[in-house]
Amino acid sequence: MKLTLVAHYGEKAAQWAELIVRYQTALATELRGAFRPYEVSQVHATIIGLEGLPRDAISGDGPTETPWRLEGVAELLNATSALPFQVRIGGYRPDTEYPFESFGRHPFLRSFTVHASGLVVAIGWPEAHGTFSNVLDELRREFNPYGFVHKYHKTAQDIDNDFFFVLGKIDPPAVVDIDIETAAARIRACMADAEPVYVQVAKSDLAVIAYVDEELPAATSQRIRLPII
């Protein structure tokens, strides 16, 4: 079993759930059935992977009804000033300048992508009252003293403020005659023109998930209770 800290695994606010279904449906149409959407409840935003958790820091081996001893994670989440924060998804126009880039790219280009692995990823960024902040990147860094380093923080200067979530997966052999990037570009343009959706991220929206499949299907994944105040 591996562990990861995620946001909004399970039930979601209506607007975000509708956005997920809207773009899953659009991509399935564009790719003529080659796209396999995740269940809406399965879609989540990863905060930080906890795969490096020392074995002596937990109790149990595999899914269990007994709470795992994740005192460090719970202590951080109870003490952090980074929570709650708000994320804006969509509405990133290509002709608009924003006060940040995502891994050196304009947020319009990063807002909806299809990875070489076939994963379909959408991304939003923290924004409140028209002001963008690096609060998600800062939260990820707060885990460093507890022995966890975000996998995209390869150097001290790296910034990963992406609130990313996977909508599903494309089966590459099934779409050899389809221009995947053109399909993705159409959906990216639709997201840019749409009204933004705002997602709140509070302590109560976070969960540690024990999993064997990185897609986090409900059948083989388990939410671990944390003593969060």
- CATH label of the domain that carries residue 45: 3.90.1140
| Residue 131, beta-bridge partner list | 128
Confidence band, pLDDT 50/70/90 cuts, at residue 64 = very low
User: Is 42 part of any domain?
Assistant: yes
Q: Using one digit for the tens of pLDDT, what is the confidence trace for 83-118?
A: 999 999 999 999 999 999 999 999 999 999 998 888
E strands, the chain, are 2-7, 35-37, 45-49, 85-89, 112-114, 119-128, 131-132, 163-170, 197-201, 206-211, 222-224
Q: Domains in the chain: how many in total?
A: 1
Task: State the Cα angle at 204 between 80 and 112, rounded to 5°.
Answer: 90
User: Is 140 part of any domain?
Assistant: yes
> What pTM does this model have?
0.88
Q: Using one digit for the tens of pLDDT, what is the confidence trace for 170-181?
A: 876 555 566 888
Given phi > 0 = left and psi -120 to 50 = alpha, else beta, which region is 122?
Answer: beta
User: Is 229 part of any domain?
Assistant: no
Q: Using one digit for the tens of pLDDT, what is the confidence trace for 146-179?
A: 878 899 998 888 999 999 999 999 876 555 566 8
pLDDT for res 71:
75
User: Is 162 part of any domain?
Assistant: yes
Give the whole-angstrom CA distance, residue 35 versus residue 32. 8
Contact 188, 111 (CB under 8 A): yes
User: Is 26 part of any domain?
Assistant: yes
Q: Does residue 32 have a pLDDT over 60?
A: yes
User: Is 23 part of any domain?
Assistant: yes
Q: Among 17-31, 44-58, 167-181, which stretch is predicted with the lowest mean pLDDT?
A: 44-58
Domain that holds residue 196: 2-224
User: Is 75 part of any domain?
Assistant: yes
User: Is 107 part of any domain?
Assistant: yes
Q: Does residue 66 have a pLDDT over 80?
A: no
Give the three-state DSSP class for 207. Answer: strand
